[in-house]
Amino acid sequence: MSNRTLGEFIKNLRISLNISTSELARNLTISEDEYIKCENGEMSIYVDDLVVIADMLGTNKSELICKYID
């Protein structure tokens, strides 16, 4: 899965749960601008960050990591 496709998947899930980009960025200890670049596919997301994102979005960690690997 490309960075852009993964970012879109995460973004759609985040929006459906009404979680802000600033809240996710704060939990990842990165700037909101960096986080937005990840969602837009302009930056890669670290696997460690995927675990945090999965927890925050209430999704299966394995599923999200598998999407990252594909």
Task: Look up the CATH number of domain 3-69.
Answer: 1.10.260.40
Domain boundary assignment for the chain:
3-69
Letter string b/e over residues 45-70, b meaning 16 or more CB atoms within 10 A of that residue's CB: beeebbebbbebbebeeeebeeebee
Question: pTM for this structure?
Answer: 0.87
What is the tens place of the pLDDT at every residue in 29-66? Answer: 999 999 999 999 999 998 899 999 999 999 998 888 88
User: If we measure between CA atoms, which residue out of 69, 60, 48, 58 comes closest to residue 14?
Assistant: 58
Q: Is the model's pLDDT at 70 over the cut of 80?
A: no
